[in-house]
């Protein structure tokens, strides 16, 4: 399936469809069972033409499993949810004796990056306190999808008569982000100030469970993502320092596609910006 939007915006990267499926795509990239990996690195590969797939044993990290819709995996952290809340905030060395914290961290060996192990002890410091992390987790649209696989596929390789993505992810620069925001609001009758959101969260949540929730809502909103500092570090070489994500439900993607012709994308303001 080709995208008029991608062509009009002269996108460097292919739009990616996220497909929930019972069938594993052939020749798909997939993390090794039980080994660490970042979901956003697979998004980068898919935006460059590869298909990637995840299941309940190959989601890369427990946060990635949550972000992809494989249930609430935070309770499976060594030390449970409380340890995760300390990991995202002030670190587990501030919670229990350091030798005990290091023993807990050892249980994550191979399932988290080297930097992640250090953060387990001393904290990512993305949230001020463990109590605030707990509130954040409680507010997430955590879901346990019935499908066996979550696949990331370049949109060009998807036949919509055979499979329909749950959402479509655009990897964009700031100019393209502005265009997508305008296009999303182009024919809306609702409040234009609330149709596009930039929620706090992990990069995988910003392309996964948060847009999945929106796709199931009566008035789905577009989700700006890749504001996760750790995820940005993971893909800064493959996607560049100016990359962000813009994720929409598949029906809204089709609506936006139909609105390309006759819109601002064919007028001088956009052409001047896009060619400059």
Residue 174 has a pLDDT of 97
Distances (CA, A) of 152 to 14, 34, 46, 167, 177: 11, 19, 6, 10, 21
Q: Are residues 237 and 131 part of one domain? A: no
- 260 or 108: which carries more pLDDT confidence? 260
Distances (CA, A) of 16 to 74, 106, 148, 228, 273: 27, 35, 19, 19, 24
Residue 252 scores a pLDDT above 80:
yes
Q: Are residues 156 and 49 part of one domain? A: yes
Q: Are residues 112 and 237 part of one domain? A: no
Q: Are residues 174 and 129 part of one domain? A: no
User: What mean pLDDT value characterizes the chain?
Assistant: 93
Nearest-CA neighbor of 140 among 202, 195, 216?
Answer: 202
Q: Are residues 182 and 52 part of one domain? A: yes
Residue 108 has a pLDDT of 73
pLDDT band at 78 (very low <50, low <70, confident <90, very high): confident
Residue range 68-95: mean pLDDT, rounded: 91
Residue range 6-21: mean pLDDT, rounded: 97
Q: What is the pLDDT of residues 40-68, one digit of tens each?
A: 999 999 999 999 999 999 999 889 999 99
Residue 97 lies in a domain: yes
Residue 115 has a pLDDT of 79
pTM score? 0.94
Q: Are residues 87 and 50 part of one domain? A: no
What percentage of residues in the chain have a pLDDT greater than 90?
80
Q: Are residues 155 and 190 part of one domain? A: yes
Distances (CA, A) of 126 to 8, 84, 229, 273: 36, 12, 9, 34
Q: Which two tokens stand for residue 138?
A: 């409680």
Residue range 172-200: mean pLDDT, rounded: 93
Residue 67 lies in a domain: no
Residue 68 lies in a domain: no
Residue 276 scores a pLDDT above 70:
no
Give start and end residues of each alpha helix (H) in 11-91: 39-47, 62-68, 80-88
Residue 251 lies in a domain: yes
Query: In angstroms, rounded to a whole number, what is the distance separating the alpha carbons of residues 170 and 14?
Result: 7
Q: How many domains does the chain have?
A: 2
Q: Are residues 167 and 232 part of one domain? A: yes
Q: Are residues 162 and 108 part of one domain? A: no
Domain boundary at 111, 139, 167, which? 139
Q: What is the pLDDT of residues 93-103, one digit of tens each?
A: 888 777 877 78
What percentage of residues in the chain have a pLDDT greater than 70?
99
**Count of CB atoms situated within 10 Å of the CB of 251:** 11
Domain boundary at 105, 139, 173, which? 139
Q: Are residues 209 and 110 part of one domain? A: no
Distances (CA, A) of 202 to 135, 174, 274: 15, 20, 29
Residue 242 lies in a domain: yes
Q: What is the pLDDT of residues 108-147, one digit of tens each?
A: 776 677 777 888 889 999 999 999 999 999 999 999 999 9
Q: Which two tokens stand for residue 260?
A: 């390309």
Domain boundary at 114, 139, 164, which? 139
Residue 11 lies in a domain: yes
Contact 58, 82 (CB under 8 A): no
Domain span at residue 134? 73-139
Residue 111 has a pLDDT of 67
Residue 52 has a pLDDT of 98
Residue 70 phi, psi (nearest 5): -100, 25
pLDDT band at 29 (very low <50, low <70, confident <90, very high): very high
Residue 274 has a pLDDT of 86
Q: Are residues 189 and 160 part of one domain? A: yes
- State the residue for tokens 């080709």: 2
Q: Which two tokens stand for residue 10?
A: 């002269």
Residue 100 has a pLDDT of 79
Q: Are residues 271 and 184 part of one domain? A: yes
């Amino acid at each position: 399936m080709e995208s008029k939007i991608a062509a009009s915006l002269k996108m460097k990267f292919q739009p990616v469809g996220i497909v929930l499926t019972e069938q594993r795509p052939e020749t798909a990239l997939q993390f090794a069972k039980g080994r660490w990996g970042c979901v956003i690195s697979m998004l980068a590969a898919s935006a460059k033409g590869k298909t990637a797939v995840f299941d309940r044993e190959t989601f890369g990290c427990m946060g990635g499993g949550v972000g992809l819709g494989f249930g609430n995996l935070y309770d499976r952290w060594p030390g449970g949810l409380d340890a995760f809340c300390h990991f995202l905030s002030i670190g587990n060395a501030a919670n229990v004796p350091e030798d005990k914290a290091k023993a807990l961290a050892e249980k994550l060996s191979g399932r988290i990056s080297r930097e992640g192990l250090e953060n387990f002890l001393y904290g990512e410091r993305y949230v001020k306190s463990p109590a605030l992390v707990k509130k954040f987790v409680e507010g997430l649209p955590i879901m346990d999808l019935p499908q066996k696989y979550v696949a990331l596929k370049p949109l060009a390789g998807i036949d919509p008569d055979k499979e329909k993505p749950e959402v479509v992810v655009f990897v964009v620069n700031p100019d393209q982000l502005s265009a997508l925001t305008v296009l999303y609001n182009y024919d809306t009758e609702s409040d234009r100030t609330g149709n596009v959101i930039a929620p706090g969260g992990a990069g995988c949540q910003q392309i996964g469970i948060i847009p999945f929730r929106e796709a199931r809502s009566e008035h789905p909103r577009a989700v700006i993502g890749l504001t996760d500092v750790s995820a940005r570090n993971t893909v800064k070489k493959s996607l560049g320092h100016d990359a962000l994500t813009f994720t929409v439900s598949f029906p809204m993607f089709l609506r936006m596609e139909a609105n390309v012709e006759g819109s601002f994308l064919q007028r001088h303001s956009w052409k001047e910006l896009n060619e400059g």
